[in-house]
Amino acid sequence: MNDTNIPHDNVKISVCLAIRNGGKYMKYVDRLFKEIESKYVNYSFEFFIYENNSNDDTKSCIEQFAKDRNCKYLMEDIPNNTMHSGINSERGNHMATIRNRLKEFHGYLESDYTLLFDCDVVFLPNTIKRLIQSFDDRTAMVSSFCICWDYYTKNNKAVHYYDSLAFISDDNISYEENDNKCLFKSCHRCTNYRNYVNKPIPDSSLLDTINLIKVKSAFGSLSLIKTDIYNNVQWGNSICEHHSFCEQVNYAGNIMVNPTIEIFTSLPSFTDYDSIEKELIARGGIRIKYM
């Protein structure tokens, strides 16, 4: 890769997290970033957290996380706040509003990169460094490969890519053409489903898990974007808020998925984040390899 203009040392990173009812997750994130901050001393972090309507200890956990860190947070209780489920425009618009609310709160950023991730995502201390190493001059944003923890644990450690709704391939295959199934050759779940409903996808459109993949849209629960690009885009009204966001990002550069950077996306019912992290390490993650 031609990465002569990509910063690797003395990097400033803005971290953005929207969270609700994630007190246990905030405690995990606190432990994780303490390790990242101690190992990657050439990185400086600023944190921006948005929370609304939690009924656990999320608010106090955010306050604890913010102590002795460059961290700003916005906590709200919104009347009649309803979190929509499923694939529908109400959910997409609701999530766009939340993400833009955080973006409006922190304002213009002057960092090198902005890290966007969701509650219940488990990643390793070297994940951020590996994402940075995936950039070249033409890259605007890089997403990791998110493995669905629920499916993984229930199906003998079978790997299924979690965020198929946000994913649009470079040849414009989206959830509509693919019945909201992933396009990775290694995912037997989605291959078997397509065979069962007679909705085949050409082999040329299926993806491996070896090389960087150029896409039209992806989030994967954790993405790193160049901040000068992030400053000039926002989430819009679409059935998945990331579709409208990535459409704007594409004007500035390529969106890539690095399938070798694995993370787990869990659910609120699975909060043993340390055990999930151990499984991620067992799959080949090495904490200090990329220092």
Whole-angstrom Cα distance, residue 86 to residue 18?
19
pLDDT tops 50 at residue 244: yes
- pLDDT at 291 (0 to 100): 29
**pLDDT tens across 9-68, in order?**
789 999 999 999 999 999 999 999 999 999 999 999 999 999 999 999 999 999 999 999
Tokens 């997290």 belong to 17
DSSP 8-state assignment for residue 289: T
Is the residue at 249 inside a domain? yes
Q: In CATH, what number is assigned to the domain containing residue 254?
A: 3.90.550.10
Is the residue at 5 inside a domain? no
Q: Beta strands 213-217 and 168-169: pairing type? A: antiparallel
pLDDT tops 60 at residue 182: yes
% the chain with pLDDT above 70: 93
- pLDDT at 9 (0 to 100): 73
- Number of independent structural domains in the chain: 1
Is the residue at 287 inside a domain? no
**pLDDT tens across 142-171, in order?**
999 999 999 999 999 999 999 999 999 999
Q: Are 72 and 105 in contact (CB under 8 A)?
A: yes
**Overall average pLDDT of the 5-9 stretch:** 61
Q: Strand, coil or helix: what is 280?
A: helix
- pLDDT at 101 (0 to 100): 96
Is the residue at 201 inside a domain? yes
Side-chain half-sphere of 151: how many Cα atoms within 13 Å?
15
Is the residue at 239 inside a domain? yes
Task: Report which of residues 4 and 218 the model is more confident about.
Answer: 218
Is the residue at 290 inside a domain? no
Is the residue at 288 inside a domain? no
Alpha-carbon distances of 271 from 58, 89, 145, 251, 276, rounded to whole Å: 14, 29, 20, 38, 9
- pLDDT at 199 (0 to 100): 85
pLDDT tops 80 at residue 83: no
pLDDT tops 50 at residue 235: yes
The pTM (predicted TM-score) of the whole model is 0.93
Domain range holding 118?
11-282
Q: Strand, coil or helix: what is 200?
A: coil
The confidence band for 1, taking pLDDT boundaries of 50, 70 and 90, is very low
Q: Are 141 and 248 in contact (CB under 8 A)?
A: no
The confidence band for 84, taking pLDDT boundaries of 50, 70 and 90, is low
Q: Is the dihedral of CA 261, 262, 263, 266 positive or negative?
A: positive
Is the residue at 291 inside a domain? no
State the SS3 of 145-166: EEEEHHHHHHCCCCCCECCCCC
- pLDDT at 288 (0 to 100): 37
- pLDDT at 78 (0 to 100): 81
Which of 21, 243, 227 has the alpha carbon at shortest distance from 135? 227
**pLDDT tens across 96-116, in order?**
999 999 999 999 999 999 999
CA distance from start to end of the chain: 19
**Overall average pLDDT of the 70-94 stretch:** 84
